[in-house]
Structure 1
């Protein structure tokens, strides 16, 4: 089953446990994570449902460049990592 994990920086602000899912696309695995904690959606997606500008997703070690449809296919053993960029100086 694909898994989705969130960076420790994000987990400091909101509960974002690792989720194992039977999802076959990036969007679906994100929705499974949001179903466990609906507040997580606002940290990851903007009002139009696309990835926020400060969020980067890697699927199986490769950066996901499609930020709107999020239709990247997942394999049964896929690992999805959601990173929130840090800002400040």
Structure 2
């Protein structure tokens, strides 16, 4: 199963579960995480369901390409890392 992990910075604001999922595309994998903690959705997706501008996702070390549809494929052994960029000075 694919494994989805979230950056430690998000833990300051919301519980970020490590999720094992049989999902075949990124959106379905993220939905599995949101099912565990619905508040996480607002930190990752905007009102249109697209990745927020300050969120970057890597699948098996490669940055995802579909930032709107989130249709990048997941393999059975994929590792997904969801990172939230830090801002401020």
Q: What is the number of residues matched between the two proteins?
A: 89
SS state at 1:58 partner? strand
Gaps of 5+ in 2: none
SS state at 1:65 partner? coil
| Structure 1 ranges of 4+ moved more than 2 A | none
2:3, 2:20 → 1: CA distance? 4
TM-score (structure 1 length as normaliser): 0.98
TM-score (structure 2 length as normaliser): 0.98
Is the aligned partner of 1:2 residue 2:6?
no
1:81, 1:46 → 2: CA distance? 18
Is the aligned partner of 1:60 residue 2:60?
yes
**2:46 corresponding residue in structure 1:** 46
Shift of 1:12: 1.4
